[in-house]
Structure 1
Amino acid sequence: MPRRPDPAVRRLLVERAARMLAGREPVTLRVLVEGTGASTMAVYTHFGGMPGLWRAVRQEGFTRLAARLDAVARTADPVHDLAALGVAYARNALDAPELYRAMFDARADLADARAADATFQRLVDAAARARDDGRLAPGTDPLALATRYWAAGHGLVSLVVQGVLPAGVLEPQAVETAVALLTAAGDDPARCRASVRRAWSAG
């Protein structure tokens, strides 16, 4: 009788694979399950094999990010809300750095690419709302602004996750980067800084 998938075993294998990947360890079925209490068959039971495991590792990173972004409450301040999404992104990366690295390893496919795309769409929608509410210039392109905001934040977070920069620089540098991008897009500097700082203080 085939074993039924166990969510706890699945999570354990995904997190272990992400740690091994981040540590540049060679990942084999035997090494992956060693010390976990699971058999090598568990990889086939849960993922259909190693390619499925790598897809699941990437997907888990985006699944956790989506949950973190979904927890960001909408307020009356759209610039605060856009900054709060950046805070949630950073906190998600710091809480699970191995999964964060695996999320952007394009050598493995995603099981649900649309779900991953939806996390970025949250930024686009927030930027559009800030424009439509009059905080940003009427001609602001939400997709272009969200791309710049994500690229800058991702670069900074990646440097912290990889140990190139100390964690203490994350908040002040993220605040300055967000303020620079959003004031360039038309927001009032003082009002923008207050919104962004409030988001990081709450985060």
Structure 2
Amino acid sequence: MRGLLVERAARMLADREPVTLRALVEGTGASTMAVYTHFGGMPGLWSAVRQEGFTRLATRLDGVARTGDPVHDLAALGVAYAHNALDAPELYRAMFDARADLADAPAADATFERLVTAAARARDAGRLAADTDPLGLATRYWAAGHGLVSLVVQGVLPAESLPPLATDTAVALLTAAGDDPARCRESVQRAWAGG
């Protein structure tokens, strides 16, 4: 029942439906008391919805294998991020609704830390300039990717435009940080191709 209520709340939020206790439990077979039993009330429910989004993202990122090509690995994390959002757009939208606290904020932060670590690996391997700030690069990479993914999730851009736009954006960011343009494009394209 907990999972059902989380999914339903996220879907209602994405559909811009008013989320009241009665509307939330309607058709689920649960009473309004279930929200209090499982979440302690509506604030706890919204916290659980956000947390579920980050939990799924962490699981998706855990599936990204580390290879000998750190630029590929950084791009592959971006690809995993995009696929996670496209697979559950309602949770993706809820993840970034800062009006609800997260039950485990450090776990959410850890998803971003994976990008910082990958950027540091690329710098340390000599693919990026020695003075590259991994945190700054990861922030720019995430912000650009998040923007593109959000436009696709909201229906502004078609899904098929995401791989080429994300590739061009990643190549621009990473070559500005010092990577060789041709080598960078090959690494990023391979990540989007699943290799």
Same fold (TM over 0.5): yes
| 1:68 equivalenced with 2:73 (yes/no) | no
**SS in structure 1 opposite 2:6?**
helix
Mapping 1:1-203, distance limit 5 Å: 9-202=1-194
CA distance in 1, matches of 2:58, 2:30: 28
Deviations 1:8-55, CA, capped at 9 Å, x for gaps:
x11110010001111111111111011111221111111011110000
CA distance in 1, matches of 2:183, 2:29: 55
Shift of 1:168: 1.0
Deviations 1:151-170, CA, capped at 9 Å, x for gaps:
00000000000001111100
Q: Which stretches of structure 1, 4 residues or more, deviate above 3 A after TM superposition?
A: none
Kindly provide the amino acid, as one letter, of the partner of residue 38 in structure 1: A
**SS in structure 2 opposite 1:118?**
helix
Q: TM-score, normalised by structure 1?
A: 0.95
Q: TM-score, normalised by structure 2?
A: 0.99
CA distance in 1, matches of 2:118, 2:74: 5
CA distance in 1, matches of 2:6, 2:114: 26
CA distance in 1, matches of 2:125, 2:28: 52
**SS in structure 1 opposite 2:193?**
helix
**SS in structure 1 opposite 2:67?**
coil
Deviations 1:40-82, CA, capped at 9 Å, x for gaps:
1111111011110000001100000000001100000000000
CA distance in 2, matches of 1:196, 1:38: 47
Kindly provide the amino acid, as one letter, of the partner of residue 77 in structure 2: L
CA distance in 2, matches of 1:150, 1:97: 17
Structure 1 unmatched ranges of 5 or more:
1-8
Number of positions where the alignment pairs a residue of Structure 1 with one of Structure 2: 195
CA distance in 2, matches of 1:163, 1:99: 16
Deviations 1:126-157, CA, capped at 9 Å, x for gaps:
00000001100000000000000000000000
CA distance in 2, matches of 1:70, 1:80: 15
**SS in structure 1 opposite 2:169?**
helix
**SS in structure 2 opposite 1:164?**
coil
Structure 2 unmatched ranges of 5 or more:
none
Q: Percent identity?
A: 87
